[in-house]
Chains A and B, each alone.
Chain A
Amino acid sequence: MERIDLYIYEVTRRLPENSRADIEMELRSTILDMMPDDYTQDDVDVALTQLGNPSKLANQYRERPNYLIGPMFFESYITILKMAAAIAVLVNITVLAIEHITLFTEDVTFLESSISFIVDFIGSIIAALVGVFCWVTAIFAILERVLDDKSKASMKSKPWKPEDLKHVIPVEKKKRISKVETFIGLLGTAMWATIYFKASDIVGLYETTEPNGKLQFVAPLFNQDVLLSFGPIMGALIAFQVGLLLYKWIVGKWTNKIAIWNMIYHIALIIFTLFFINQANLFNMEFIRYTGELFDVVNDNVLISWWNNSIWGFVFVVIIISVVDIFSGFRKAKI
């Protein structure tokens, strides 16, 4: 008798309070039915073996799903997971870029700061993805247990019809804008925005100092005042580029509209670069003199013309890259 009680207890303690009494009574009478009237310990063991593991029996009574997210929910779960992951990564990149721009400290070299930026970047993305995965999964697992079948069914997507195919526009591989492309683009924007706003601290000449062989920042390339006066325009340009990247990502392929916007962006970039280069006090004279000493050019005129040539060379490269990108955009849109 004692064993029967223990068995029943093992089953019912796992069940909700309101069904316990009834199941207990039914189980007891069933077990007694399974045995002869003058049963022995062996009869009890045989009967209980037939009923099997009490926790399994309780599970059957409870009807709670033995899966985390059922087939009714799985599709919406995956969709929302992807969306949330994308948003989390974007938000993280933005926050991180702003952080790096505002919290930059002068006592680290540019190389160190870029490495720390990339490490932070990858780390925070992994953290964001893990967080998103945990939260979305937890919420769906709870919904799975709280909602009844009817409300679950209402969350399912509409049944598929052949007409739905007309919304599908196949994208050729050459036309496609990949996620990796967008990702690298955003990373690049974040980095050069950081470089621009912190240029006086990181862009310039470095020298190895003797005792510890560490790189020391000697002279900045730009005059910070000039850089800052261009700040708002630069900010607008960055916003433009980020907007364009996101728009490209959402559309997913090259279109004429995107190609035109891409052209506008590049033209704006070229105009900005030309204006920027032509600023009188853009470059730090100290830096220019320093390079002169380095290459043994003593004559200031020679130095200036040499300097100007390299700058125009740089501008030329920028323009070439822009033009190539503009044309490749239109070419891809045409395919």
Chain B
Amino acid sequence: MSDLLNSLTTELRRGTLTLAVLSQLSKPQYGYSLVQLLEKSGIVIDQSTLYPLLRRLEKQELLSSIWDTTESRPRKYYVLSDYGKEVFETLKTEWEKTSKELSLLLKGAEEDGTD
């Protein structure tokens, strides 16, 4: 039961991960600062998933990156590209629509249950 639940939860979250990451990158962030930002909002993300994901999004030209070498240790900053902003807005609208529809469905199910 709990194994199944785990895999279902992972499945459910996987799709939202990209959206969560994109949402935090209107301002440049480096890997670890992004982890902290996400954790502050309660989103726990496996770090071994996040760093490769950032590179993948960069390869898909949704993000652009720049190395900052002025501080004590060099850090790679990621930020939304113009294309990335566009995709993010569309994805966001799509998500809001889905979540609204789903919450209606879930509410309906709840009411059915109490009747």
| Chain A residues proximal to chain B, CB less than 8 Å | 22-23, 25-27, 29-30, 32-34, 50-53, 56-57, 60-61, 63
Given contacts A29-B76, A30-B31, contact A51 B47 (CB under 8 A): yes
| Chain B residues proximal to chain A, CB less than 8 Å | 30-33, 46-49, 51-52, 55-56, 67, 73-76
A32: contacting residue among B48, B52, B73, CB under 8 A = B73
Task: Using CB atoms, name the residue of chain B closest to A54.
Answer: B48
B residues within 8 A CB of A63? Answer: 52, 56
| Min CB gap B67→A, angstroms | 8
Given contacts A34-B32, A50-B47, A51-B47, contact A29 B52 (CB under 8 A): no
A residues within 8 A CB of B55? Answer: 23, 61
A residues within 8 A CB of B48? Answer: 51-53, 56-57, 60
What's the Cα separation between A34 and B33 when bound, in Å?
9
A-B contact pairs, 7 of them (CB 8 A): A26-B31, A26-B51, A26-B76, A27-B51, A33-B30, A57-B52, A61-B52
A-B pairs with the 10 shortest C-beta distances? A33-B32, A60-B52, A52-B48, A57-B48, A30-B31, A61-B52, A26-B76, A29-B73, A29-B75, A51-B48
Judging by beta carbons under 8 Å apart, are A30 and B74 in contact?
no
A residues within 8 A CB of B33? Answer: 33
A residues within 8 A CB of B49? Answer: 60
| Min CB gap A284→B, angstroms | 77
What's the Cα separation between A34 and B56 when bound, in Å?
22
B51: contacting residue among A25, A30, A53, A56, CB under 8 A = A30
| Min CB gap B59→A, angstroms | 9
Task: Using CB atoms, name the residue of chain B closest to A19.
Answer: B55
Task: Using CB atoms, name the residue of chain B closest to A56.
Answer: B48
Q: Which of B33, B48, B49, B75 is packed against the most chain A CB atoms within 10 Å?
A: B48
B residues within 8 A CB of A25? Answer: 67, 74, 76
What's the Cα separation between A143 and B67 when bound, in Å?
36
- Known A29-B76, A52-B47, A52-B48; further 6 A-B contacts with Cβ < 8 A: A30-B47, A32-B73, A33-B30, A33-B32, A51-B48, A60-B48
| Min CB gap B77→A, angstroms | 11
| Min CB gap B16→A, angstroms | 18
A residues within 8 A CB of B51? Answer: 26-27, 30, 57, 60-61
